Structure 1
Amino acid sequence: MSDTSHLNLGKDGSEIEMQNLLDEEDTSKSSLDVEDVLYNGETINLYPLNYQKVPLVRFQILASLLLFMVFGMNDECNGALLPGLTEHYGVTKVQVANTFILQVCGYTLASLLNERVYRRVGAQGAVLIASGMCIVCFTILTMRPGSFYVYLACFVPLGLSIGILDSACNVLFGNLEVHKNECMGILHGVYGAAAMVTPPTVSYFVEFGQWNLVFLFPLGLSLAGFVLAAFAFKTETANKYNYICSISKSDGDEEHPSFFTLLKKPAIFLYAMFLFVYLGSEVSTGAWILTYLMEVKHGSYVPMSYVTAAFWLGLTVGRLVLGFVTRRSFRNEYRASRFYAGMTGVFYTLFLLLSLIDSQSTFYFVVIAIVVFFAGVFIGPLFPNASVVALQVLPKNLHVSGVGIAVALGGCGAAALPYAIGLVTSALGFGVFPLLCWCMVALVNIMWFMYPKLIKGHDEYL
């Protein structure tokens, strides 16, 4: 559990900073990295979230990276599978879009249950339960369900499991003691890389009439993540989580505040609303741009899947590269994201203007691919940076619950807004798709600029 960073307690129960220990004793001894505390009859292992000193943290990082690849493939699969699903099941695009809204139900459950799950089974139990649900659902999807309703039903538990896992991974990486920005960029870059390779991969499976076999990839990753997490999170028990919450809460705060109490806090509410719109714009772009290029611009399926992949490639590059740029070129993560959000708006504006040109030339599609690539580059780091900022302004006892609610509600945006775009474009035509994406990105910019006005007392981070 990532809330253990910087916490070590002596036998008298008083808090001792890890840095003080390092100053006083030889850092080469493993005893400095791990402290045992007795709580509720259980010996709890506390250690700094420093992968350079604690080998177990490396395995937690690796498990998180595997599971984030699952998220990327899952978010992009249904948009890329649209032609195969409509043909195989004889359903409409709007019916396929129901997969997005059903994931909203799962994400909503995650926002309500995330903190309770941690209290009862700890981080290890939460990660194992969630990855286990992924294994079951992807196994069913791999078997090509005979009924479209069975296919749809799988996305409720998938939304729930991804909401839990997303929160766990963001809290872990956001609390790392070294290379936090770089690692957070890599985590979210892995998501983008998985989403990037999904459209071209799916296109070939659809061409050969074996669309269901594409789910073997997230299934294999879920299995690997489950096995690795069982070991990596072995010390992250319910007692450890409850203990961390009890000693790190601020005066006057509840140890386990309710859902609505958390949402009343400006830092959590604004973070949740930002992720709702941000993830909605990101996933909507990736999920529907292929359909837009085929229906409105009359492009061919396989070449247009590569244009779609250009967006996810840009997002991956942005998260991997700009994670290293942020700390070196900007005062803090918030200031960096103000610049990145503005540049995202510029390239979405170019995409909107290009949509007004009636052309089907190869050069035209290359230009679109370049524009959406750079749109992805600058939109990519907004999520990981927002997570770092949230963890900076929230007390430790609100990290899991606060980030859990925000990420889960953000996941609702990743499901609800693509669904809404499916409904609007079904009624008005896919020609309005670039305008809808531009509006969402404009709203992302507005909400990010509101942070310093609504969150007080954290000027060093804003």
Structure 2
Amino acid sequence: MERNPFSSSRVSPELPDSPIELQSIHTNPNVVHTSSKTQTETVTVIEDIGPLTFKNPPKNLFRVITSLIWAFALGLSDGSVGVLLNYIELQYSISYSVASILWLSNAIGFILVALLSNVIQKKFGRKSIFLGCLSSIIMYTLVSTGSKYPVIIIGFLFGGIGAGICVAQYNVFIGRLEKSSTALGYLHGCYGLGASVSPLIATAFVEAGIKWNFYYLVVLGFFLISAVNTYISFVHGEDDLKPWDDEQQQQPTQEVKKSGLMKEALKNKLTWISSLFVFFYQGAEVAFGGWITTYLRDYRNHTNTSIGYVVSGYWFGLTFGRLVLTRLIHKLIGARRGNSVLIVLSILFALLTWVISSFPIEIVTITFTGIMIGPVYPLMIAYIVSEDLIPRKIAVISVTVTTAFGSSGGAVIPFLVGLISQYAGAFVVLPSFIVIFSATLCLWLMLPNTRYTKGTGKVDIFKRIW
């Protein structure tokens, strides 16, 4: 399932220009002799360990590579569902609404991890990444059998659990690196690359007459590699990370204030506006990628199996927009105006896909819809954090709440679209996207404009929005 777990990443507070030196402290007893007795004097020796980087400690480079392989594998899984959904429906003779349970099952896995996150963190810490990979392996083992549909649903439940654990832990680890934005960019890119190539591979499988479930053997292979790498990186031999863990633990005031900051974040109006924004945004993004193949086949009557390549174009477009256009748009017109334009263009291209019944044009408009959707989420994060819309002391907690809403939207809205399609027809896929993305535009404009200076008259209303 595409949850776009990285459009919603952990955001770290800004660091000062000069590097922060983390130090480990060792105490060695020295014997000092006096005339009356022998006393023990503690001498503190400070060893400079430097910041946590790609190569400090040296094993971190392997850990980062491990995270990138895992992200690529998750993308392979998420991007293929839209292509394979038709074959799942045919094999089990199920309706749209019953097929939508796959998204719901996956969401339940995420919710279980969220509810047990504190227990998992206390008991296993980073080692839980290995457990997450094992849970994912269970999913792809079950799904690749092509067994009865309830077994497939249980498989997707384990997939949600595994992805939920790994997404949280990898975001925390990568987010603590000195150049976290660069590392998170690599993580975004690998996930997007996996989601982009997966429709190509899945379509090639079904065109060759290979059953849909055997595609998940490919994904299973990648997760087996990830599990081995994860064991080496985070279970066996992670002692070299302890100096940085100790440094982080030497901040008791943060733990004392944590519950108070959570309450403050939940009382902040902007936390809820941004959370609803991401709920609708990610829900529309996933629903579009998951159901567009069904729309083209059942409503447009494009029966050729090559329609699976259209989904690949959508994900390639989304990945390109996120990695290439985000920085450019932010620099040229800013995040607020940039997102306003991107959302309107996304709606426009979806509308063109809906009203123009020409397969070549549909390929172009669907790809451009992905390009326009891609930068919206990172620009939103940049706007609310870098512009200090939310106080810095609660920014991380607020963004965490926001990303949790995003994961929920990425499961609930595709389920609802499938449910409605069952009774109204597959044509509702694009109108649903247009309505939902219009809601995201309204929520986006509800956020304060940091460039706005209060004035009077009708022009002032335009300035407040733009």
TM-score range, shorter chain: 0.7 to 0.9
Q: Is structure 2 residue 343 aligned with structure 1 residue 318?
A: no
Q: Which amino acid aligns with 1:192?
A: G
Q: Which residue does 2:134 correspond to in 1?
A: 132
Q: Which residue does 2:343 correspond to in 1?
A: 344
Query: How far, CA to CA, are the matches of 1:397 and 1:47 in structure 2?
Result: 27
Q: Which residue does 2:428 correspond to in 1?
A: 432
Deviation at 1:105, TM superposition (A): 1.0
Q: Which residue does 2:203 correspond to in 1?
A: 203
SS at match of 1:253: helix
Structure 2 contact 265–394 (Cα < 8 Å) conserved: no
Structure 2 contact 68–187 (Cα < 8 Å) conserved: yes
Q: Is structure 2 residue 63 aligned with structure 1 residue 60?
A: yes
| Equivalent residue runs for 1:395-414 within 5 Å | 399=396, 404-414=400-410
Deviation at 1:132, TM superposition (A): 1.6
Q: Which residue does 1:309 correspond to in 2?
A: 312
Q: Is structure 2 residue 438 aligned with structure 1 residue 442?
A: yes
Q: Which residue does 1:222 correspond to in 2?
A: 223
Q: Which residue does 2:24 correspond to in 1?
A: 36
Q: TM-score, normalised by structure 2?
A: 0.76
Q: Deviations over 1:347-390 (max 9, x none)?
A: 32232144123x3xxxx222222222222122213334445567
Q: How has the CA–CA distance of structure 1 residues 68 and 201 changed in structure 2, closer, same or farther, with 3 Å as cutoff? A: same
Q: How has the CA–CA distance of structure 1 residues 448 and 115 changed in structure 2, closer, same or farther, with 3 Å as cutoff? A: farther
Query: How far, CA to CA, are the matches of 2:86 and 2:363 in structure 1?
Result: 21
Q: Which amino acid aligns with 2:225?
A: A
Deviation at 1:268, TM superposition (A): 4.8
Structure 1 contact 100–418 (Cα < 8 Å) conserved: yes
Q: Which residue does 1:72 correspond to in 2?
A: 75
Q: How has the CA–CA distance of structure 1 residues 63 and 164 changed in structure 2, closer, same or farther, with 3 Å as cutoff? A: same
Q: Which amino acid aligns with 1:90?
A: S
SS at match of 2:24: strand
Q: How has the CA–CA distance of structure 1 residues 20 and 415 changed in structure 2, closer, same or farther, with 3 Å as cutoff? A: closer
Q: How has the CA–CA distance of structure 1 residues 327 and 341 changed in structure 2, closer, same or farther, with 3 Å as cutoff? A: closer
Query: How far, CA to CA, are the matches of 2:254 and 2:60 in structure 1?
Result: 27
SS at match of 1:19: coil
Query: How far, CA to CA, are the matches of 2:335 and 2:252 in structure 1?
Result: 29
Query: How far, CA to CA, are the matches of 2:242 and 2:448 in structure 1?
Result: 35
Q: Which residue does 1:381 correspond to in 2?
A: 375
Q: How has the CA–CA distance of structure 1 residues 77 and 292 changed in structure 2, closer, same or farther, with 3 Å as cutoff? A: same
| Equivalent residue runs for 1:364-375 within 5 Å | 364-375=358-369
Query: How far, CA to CA, are the matches of 2:395 and 2:239 in structure 1?
Result: 20
Q: How has the CA–CA distance of structure 1 residues 172 and 3 changed in structure 2, closer, same or farther, with 3 Å as cutoff? A: farther
Structure 2 contact 23–243 (Cα < 8 Å) conserved: no
Query: How far, CA to CA, are the matches of 1:390 and 1:127 in structure 2?
Result: 29
Q: How has the CA–CA distance of structure 1 residues 303 and 243 changed in structure 2, closer, same or farther, with 3 Å as cutoff? A: same
Deviation at 1:84, TM superposition (A): 1.7
Q: How has the CA–CA distance of structure 1 residues 366 and 194 changed in structure 2, closer, same or farther, with 3 Å as cutoff? A: same
Structure 1 contact 314–373 (Cα < 8 Å) conserved: yes
Q: Is structure 2 residue 149 aligned with structure 1 residue 148?
A: yes
SS at match of 2:146: coil
Structure 2 contact 289–314 (Cα < 8 Å) conserved: yes
Query: How far, CA to CA, are the matches of 1:212 and 1:278 in structure 2?
Result: 30
Deviation at 1:344, TM superposition (A): 3.4
Deviation at 1:412, TM superposition (A): 1.7
Deviation at 1:285, TM superposition (A): 0.7
Deviation at 1:246, TM superposition (A): 6.1
SS at match of 1:36: strand
Query: How far, CA to CA, are the matches of 2:323 and 2:243 in structure 1?
Result: 35
Q: Which residue does 2:258 correspond to in 1?
A: 254
Q: Which amino acid aligns with 2:152?
A: Y
Structure 2 contact 261–394 (Cα < 8 Å) conserved: no
Q: How has the CA–CA distance of structure 1 residues 325 and 356 changed in structure 2, closer, same or farther, with 3 Å as cutoff? A: closer
Structure 1 contact 271–406 (Cα < 8 Å) conserved: yes
Percent identity among equivalent residues? 25
Count of aligned pairs between the two proteins:
416
Q: How has the CA–CA distance of structure 1 residues 18 and 318 changed in structure 2, closer, same or farther, with 3 Å as cutoff? A: closer
Structure 2 contact 199–312 (Cα < 8 Å) conserved: yes
Q: Deviations over 1:390-414 (max 9, x none)?
A: 7765768984x66555434322211
Query: How far, CA to CA, are the matches of 2:405 and 2:242 in structure 1?
Result: 24
Q: How has the CA–CA distance of structure 1 residues 158 and 257 changed in structure 2, closer, same or farther, with 3 Å as cutoff? A: farther
Q: Deviations over 1:26-58 (max 9, x none)?
A: xxxxxx6x63368xxxxxx97634326554443
Q: TM-score, normalised by structure 1?
A: 0.77
Show structure 2 runs of 5+ residues with no match: 1-9, 27-47, 451-466
